[in-house]
Amino acid sequence: MRHGAEPGAAKNRIAALVLAGTLAYMSLLLRAAPVGFLASGILGILLIRALYEPDVAEIAASLCLGAVFLVCQVALHLRALNYFSAATALGCATFLVAALRTRTPGDLRRLLMLFALPFFVLVITFAENAPSLFIPSKQAPTFDPMLYAFDAALGVNTFGIARFAQAHSWLGATCTWVYANLPLSIALVWAVQLRERGTRAWRLALACCVTGIVGFLFYQVLPGTGPRYLFEGRFPLGPAPEAGGLAGTAMLSTAYTRNAVPSLHVTWAALAAWYSEGAPLLVKALAVGFALLTILATLTTGEHYVVDLFVAAPFFAAMIAVAEPSVFLRRIGGITLALVLAWTIALEYRWRSAAAAWAVVVCAAAWSAVVIAMVVRRQGSAESASPGVGQAQPASTSSR
């Protein structure tokens, strides 16, 4: 197919090169965006290409071209030589090689699949930072003191958790890397499941997109940044302040992203682990391990409060329910989101009662478990009702 004259081959290649140019421009935005997150999304292109329909010659060419890109970037002083610049160079090179080989509509569709991850990361990054673009002042109120007060009511010391990570430098470095490279976990599961079980891959994609959209709306309800920004210069080495001595809200720089409640980092990592079911054991172990480390990283980096993670539990349960084709489960997901929204609004008030705070957390965990059990049962019923589909899948996969 590749060596023959394909109708519209030139048009498909032009579209592919336009996409490659767009990706190159996106990589230039690293200076204005969270470097690690976007660079990781671009590096995910190489990971997806290596796992889904791998071509040894194409991957080798991508690595060589990526090295050339990196040398040029450093020589021209466009970027310093570090992990993020290498990740960007390798991802862009992989995409360009694939674009140059594009001839058929099928090639173009595969290229769009590679483009989806960094584009998704860029859109989410812009959406999280967009509100600050429309705030005339350089500071705006957040509900960080209220979130800190809820943690205090639970008896949690976020300062102590972060100090422990700093005392063990290997743990702190690992958590920082994991936090910045969440897109790699999604890329790993997406690529493997697309090859093994296409349905799980597309549900992962749907759940991740819905999570980003709904999560952005939640951020507008309860703006929060994280303890490292609320206690800038004092976290985590300074003494932990008393929650009762803080005002109800805090005026913080608009340069700090209001993306605390719920923790979408934890939600996305949990989604990757959830949809790794049925993948090879190594992939599943990596996805689950990445999710667990992400939970720890949100606290050691000071980007989230503990309550953000508790809110993420029912939020995650709602997302996997909404991603299912069952109308019943989607309604359950909608109800769960309504409950999470009510809890999010309630966090705007100071919580002093440990019993009340723990009661809400336990109820949220219990309801999350109920929703997850519903999803598991419906999935089991659907698979048992159509055994022929599961048997036919390997044959279609091997023909690619």
Q: Provide the pLDDT confidence category of residue 35 given band limits of 50, 70 and 90.
A: low
Q: Provide the pLDDT confidence category of residue 319 given band limits of 50, 70 and 90.
A: very high
- Top-confidence range, 4-8, 73-77, 123-127, 187-191: 187-191
Contact (Cβ atoms closer than 8 angstroms) between residue 165 and residue 300: yes
pLDDT of residue 255: 83
Percent of the chain topping pLDDT 70: 90
Distance (Å, whole) CA 344 – CA 261: 7
Q: Say if residue 262's pLDDT is above 70.
A: yes
- CA proximity to 345, closest of 223, 222, 248: 222
Alpha helices for 52-104 (secondary structure H)? 56-75, 83-100
Beta strands in the chain (DSSP E): 139-142, 250-253
The single-letter DSSP state of residue 250 is E
Q: Which tokens hold the place of 373?
A: 């059990």
In degrees, to the nearest 5, what angle opens at C-alpha 82 toward C-alphas 81 and 86?
90
147-159 tens-digit pLDDT:
999 999 999 888 8
pLDDT of residue 385: 62
> Could you identify the residue written with the tokens 């969440």?
182
What is the amino acid identity at position 238? G
The single-letter DSSP state of residue 240 is P
Q: Provide the pLDDT confidence category of residue 317 given band limits of 50, 70 and 90.
A: very high
The single-letter DSSP state of residue 253 is E
List all residues 6 or more positions away from 245 whose beta carbon is below 8 Å from its beta carbon.
none
pLDDT of residue 296: 93
In degrees, to the nearest 5, what angle opens at C-alpha 183 toward C-alphas 182 and 186?
100
Strand-strand pairing, 250-253 and 139-142: antiparallel
Q: Provide the pLDDT confidence category of residue 45 given band limits of 50, 70 and 90.
A: very high
Q: Say if residue 124's pLDDT is above 90.
A: no
The single-letter DSSP state of residue 252 is E
Q: Which of 2-6, 165-169, 284-288, 372-376 has the lowest mean pLDDT?
A: 2-6
Distance (Å, whole) CA 103 – CA 3: 10
Segment 133-161 mean pLDDT? 87
Distance (Å, whole) CA 10 – CA 392: 36
Q: Which tokens hold the place of 52?
A: 């889904």
| DSSP per-residue string spanning 146-205 | HHHHHHHHHT--HHHHHHHHHHSHHHHHHHHHHHHTHHHHHHHHHHHHHHH-HHHHHHHH
- CA proximity to 240, closest of 311, 163, 150: 163
> Residue length, the chain?
400
Average pLDDT, the chain: 87
In degrees, to the nearest 5, what angle opens at C-alpha 397 toward C-alphas 20 and 47?
35
Judged by DSSP in three states, 53 sits in coil
Q: Say if residue 298's pLDDT is above 70.
A: yes
pLDDT of residue 157: 86
Segment 263-280 mean pLDDT? 94
Q: Say if residue 200's pLDDT is above 70.
A: yes
Q: How far apart are the first and last CA of the chain?
A: 14
Distance (Å, whole) CA 355 – CA 48: 47
The helix or strand, by DSSP H or E, that contains position 26, with its residue range, turns out to be helix 9-28
Q: Say if residue 108's pLDDT is above 50.
A: yes
Contact (Cβ atoms closer than 8 angstroms) between residue 19 and residue 112: yes
Which letter, b or e, does each residue of 216-227 get, where b requires 16 or more Cβ atoms within 10 Å of its Cβ? bebbeebbbbbb
pLDDT of residue 273: 96
User: Which long-range contacts (C-beta less than 8 Å, at least 24 apart) are formed by 210-217?
Assistant: 210/319, 210/322, 210/323, 211/264, 211/267, 211/268, 211/271, 211/315, 211/319, 212/120, 212/123, 212/124, 212/127, 212/264, 214/319, 214/337, 215/259, 215/262, 215/264, 215/267, 215/315, 216/124, 216/127, 216/128
363-396 tens-digit pLDDT:
999 999 999 999 999 887 766 665 544 444 443 3
Q: Which of 129-133, 324-328, 343-347, 349-353 has the lowest mean pLDDT?
A: 129-133
Percent of the chain topping pLDDT 90: 52
Distance (Å, whole) CA 328 – CA 321: 9
Q: Provide the pLDDT confidence category of residue 167 given band limits of 50, 70 and 90.
A: confident
Q: Say if residue 1's pLDDT is above 60.
A: no
